[in-house]
């Protein structure tokens, strides 16, 4: 008997991850649709707040906004954990929805750090690019913010890839010490961050394109879009966000399994 590691190709696995989400569309719908309904229901109610007069308007707005934020904060890590377990162990959620478990709070506060880092880097990159525009006497370009956002997201993904691998191990009940995590990350560098960026890119680009098209439509119509259209845009955006999370989780799941020795 000999021990070895499964062959891991970052580019191949990164390209295969989004396709695995499409192939597993039934499981993806099982995991995502209940959360989408839960998130969009308060959003739909928020659209109706504009038709409510009096003190109740402010109360409804705050309550619905809190529900949406809470659902978004919990849904992404819940789907990530459920997708890792499905791709690694074939486990499916027992109920109608991928409910958060004990790992979700551990992941949530790390996600907050992740998103906070993205926001800070986005503003830093955007201000730098706008400064270059001003010095070169160029017109202010709207897509500069989009470029800054993409660069910031990529930088944070690369830097945090080892943490994401460690969280993937936790999702299947394994534990990596910091030393082991760092050693694995060095061994898989730059394959791990490269493959993760490739896995996230398709749904990320689609979501950014949808956002840009939505902004264009809002400008073209003078910000007078019908509520069902707005809800449709927001719903597709959430679906693409969930799909990106599932794709990243699929890649990390394969990366994690490649670190586990196999006996042959």
Residue 247's alpha-carbon distances to 60, 61, 136, 166, 177, in angstroms, are 35, 33, 40, 17, 25
pLDDT at 19: 95
- Residue with the two structure tokens 């950014």: 208
pLDDT (tens digit, 0 to 9) for every residue of the chain, 264 residues total?
334 444 568 889 999 999 999 999 999 998 899 888 888 887 777 666 655 555 555 666 666 667 777 777 788 888 888 899 888 888 877 766 666 666 667 666 666 676 666 667 666 766 776 676 667 665 555 566 677 777 777 877 887 787 788 888 888 877 766 666 667 767 788 888 899 999 999 999 998 888 777 766 665 555 455 567 777 888 898 999 999 999 999 999 988 888 764 433
State how far the Cα of 145 lies from the Cα of 160, in Å rounded to an integer.
22
pLDDT at 211: 79
H helix or E strand, kind and range, residue 4: strand 3-4
Number of structural domains found in the chain? 1
pTM to 2 decimals? Answer: 0.79
Model confidence pLDDT, tens digit, residues 58-113: 666 666 667 777 777 788 888 888 899 888 888 877 766 666 666 667 666 666 67
State how far the Cα of 182 lies from the Cα of 179, in Å rounded to an integer.
5
Phi, psi dihedral angles at 3 (to 5 degrees)? -105, 140
State how far the Cα of 196 lies from the Cα of 161, in Å rounded to an integer.
8
pLDDT at 189: 82
Parallel, antiparallel or unpaired: strands 3-4 and 262-263: antiparallel
State how far the Cα of 167 lies from the Cα of 255, in Å rounded to an integer.
12
pLDDT at 186: 76
3 state SS for 123-188: HHHHHHHHHHHHHCCCCCCCHHHHHHHHHHHHHHHHHHHHHHHHHHHHHCCCCCCHHHHHHHHHHH
Domain residues for the domain of 165 are: 3-263
Burial of 185 (0-12, 13-18, 19+ CB in 10 A): middle
- Residue with the two structure tokens 């993205």: 118
pLDDT at 182: 66
pLDDT at 23: 94
Residue 263 β-bridge partners: 3
pLDDT at 130: 61
- Residue with the two structure tokens 């209940």: 34
């Amino acid at each position: 008997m000999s021990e070895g590691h499964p062959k891991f190709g970052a580019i191949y696995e990164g390209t295969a991850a989004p396709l695995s989400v499409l192939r597993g569309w039934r499981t993806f719908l099982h995991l995502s649709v209940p959360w989408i309904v839960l998130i969009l229901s308060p959003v739909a109610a928020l659209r109706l707040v504009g038709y409510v007069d009096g003190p109740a308007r402010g109360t409804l707005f705050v309550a619905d906004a809190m529900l949406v934020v809470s659902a978004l904060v919990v849904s992404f890590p819940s789907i990530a954990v459920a997708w890792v377990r499905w791709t690694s162990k074939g486990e499916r959620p027992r109920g109608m929805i991928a409910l958060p478990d004990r790992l979700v709070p551990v992941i949530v506060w790390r996600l907050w750090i992740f998103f906070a880092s993205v926001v800070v880097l986005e503003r830093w990159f955007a201000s730098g690019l706008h400064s270059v525009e001003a010095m070169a006497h160029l017109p202010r370009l709207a897509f500069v913010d989009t470029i800054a956002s993409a660069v910031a997201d990529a930088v944070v993904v690369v830097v945090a890839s080892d943490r994401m691998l460690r969280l993937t191990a936790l999702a299947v009940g394994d534990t990596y010490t910091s030393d082991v995590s760092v050693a694995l990350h060095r061994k898989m560098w730059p394959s791990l961050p490269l493959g993760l960026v490739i896995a996230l890119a398709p749904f990320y680009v689609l979501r950014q394109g949808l956002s840009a098209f939505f902004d264009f439509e809002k400008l073209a119509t003078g910000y007078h879009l019908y509520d069902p259209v707005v809800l449709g845009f927001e719903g597709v955006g959430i679906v693409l966000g969930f799909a990106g999370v599932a794709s990243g989780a699929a890649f990390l799941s394969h990366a994690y399994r490649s670190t586990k020795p196999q006996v042959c």
